[in-house]
């Protein structure tokens, strides 16, 4: 069906609320079989995008294809193959965990009533909630609700799982269990789209990453590709800041920046780009720059993330 292709494709996907553009011209592509980390600060448009993918919110413009079918036109055909956790778990608080799952199973027109109890039991087992299944959800911790939400997404086998901040509210142990769960599902061939504002989490479980910032997709690649693309920055320690800056610029390096340090010497940094790292120091020396230190490092993914999304705390 969608073998080899993409499980999720959007083109020009846009959503405006009044004057505010929540999602702007999004071209998402989640390869089949990948674990796709949908990364971005809070308020960057991740949840609105997920709501559009699932047909809860109508796009202002653009198209969505899930598992090779147009959404929301074919929602009734596609969504039975998709499991979802959207913006935190939500249940009838006065019912117990098992009855809540029974309610959701009854809502699925493709679910067989005969196998309902067995499937519910298996899903509860898988998220470790069997012992608490008869407790009212009112008395669940946030972590337990989160597990129950994941259990609901596991009631049926799915080709695609959309998990919006699945580890929110979980303790470290629970977070690790979710990671294992996602890894296991991916191993079975389920494509997983998992949103998060935590880079470390995405780094640990994803094969692909899309980065959202202010409603736009600012990067999308495999994890390895994103690391590579960032490239190497050279760092020169020298008292001759101006000459060093000129020399690196003449050499053709981009993003040259200098900063005065303590005492007489400061630092000049630049993006190496396609240039040979061994050519840099001779060029500096021949320009008369006194090189006290030199290094070439690839920045961490975290720096890359901050660079892409901006550091500010302001949420629009």
Positions in the binding site for another protein (CB under 8 A): 1-3, 51, 54-58, 75-77, 79-82, 84, 86-95, 99, 102-104, 106-113, 152, 156-159, 188-190
Comparing CB distances to another protein, the nearer of 191 and 245 is 191
Residue number with CB closer to another protein (99 or 221):
99
Burial of 118 (0-12, 13-18, 19+ CB in 10 A): exposed
Q: Which is nearer to another protein, 161 or 289 (by Cβ)?
A: 161
Smallest distance from the beta carbon of 196 to another protein, in angstroms? 19
Q: Report phi then psi at 78, rounded to 5.
A: -85, -45
- In whole angstroms, how close is the CB of 167 to another protein at the nearest point? 18
Specify the residue, 28 or 234, whose C-beta has the smaller distance to another protein: 28
Alpha carbon 257 to its chain centroid, in Å, reads 30
To another protein, the closest distance from the beta carbon of 209 in angstroms equals 23
Q: Which residue, 46 or 51, is less far from another protein as judged by CB?
A: 51
Of 77 and 228, the one with the shorter C-beta distance to another protein is 77
CB of 77: closest distance to another protein in angstroms? Answer: 7
Minimum distance, C-beta of residue 128 to another protein, in the bound complex (Å) = 20
CA angle, 159 then 160 then 161, to 5°? 130
The CB-of-109 to another protein minimum distance in angstroms stands at 4
Q: Evaluate whether 221 touches 209 at the Cβ level (below 8 Å).
A: yes
CB nearer to another protein: give 148 or 272: 148
Least distance between another protein and beta carbon 210 (Å): 20
Q: How near is the Cβ of 271 to another protein at its closest, in Å?
A: 41
Residue 108 or 171 having the CB closest to another protein: 108
């Amino acid at each position: 069906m969608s073998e080899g292709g993409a499980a999720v494709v959007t083109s020009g996907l846009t959503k405006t609320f009044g004057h505010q553009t929540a999602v702007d011209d999004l071209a998402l592509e989640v390869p089949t079989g990948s674990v796709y980390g949908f990364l971005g600060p809070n308020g960057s448009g991740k949840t609105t995008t997920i709501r559009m993918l699932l047909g809860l919110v109508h796009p202002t413009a653009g198209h969505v294809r899930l598992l090779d079918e147009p959404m929301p036109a074919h929602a009734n055909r596609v969504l039975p193959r998709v499991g979802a956790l959207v913006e935190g778990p939500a249940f009838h608080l006065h019912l117990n965990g098992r009855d809540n799952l029974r309610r959701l199973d009854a809502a699925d027109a493709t679910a067989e009533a005969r196998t309902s109890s067995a499937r519910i039991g298996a899903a509860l087992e898988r998220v470790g909630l069997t012992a608490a299944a008869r407790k009212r959800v009112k008395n669940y911790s946030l972590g337990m609700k989160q597990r129950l939400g994941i259990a609901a997404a596991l009631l049926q086998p799915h080709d695609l799982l959309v998990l919006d901040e699945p580890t929110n509210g979980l303790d470290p142990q629970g977070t690790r269990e979710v990671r294992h769960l996602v890894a296991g599902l991916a191993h079975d061939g389920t494509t997983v789209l998992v949103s998060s504002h935590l880079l470390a989490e995405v780094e640990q479980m994803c094969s692909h990453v899309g980065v959202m910032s202010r409603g736009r997709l600012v990067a999308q690649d495999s994890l390895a590709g994103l690391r590579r693309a960032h490239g190497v920055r050279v760092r020169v320690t020298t008292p001759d800041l101006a000459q060093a800056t000129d020399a690196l610029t003449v050499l053709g390096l981009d993003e040259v920046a200098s900063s005065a340090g303590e005492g007489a010497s400061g630092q000049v940094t630049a993006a190496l780009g396609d240039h040979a790292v061994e050519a840099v120091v001779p060029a500096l020396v021949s320009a008369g720059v006194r090189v006290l230190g030199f290094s070439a490092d690839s920045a961490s993914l975290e720096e890359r993330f901050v660079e892409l999304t901006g550091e500010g705390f302001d949420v629009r």
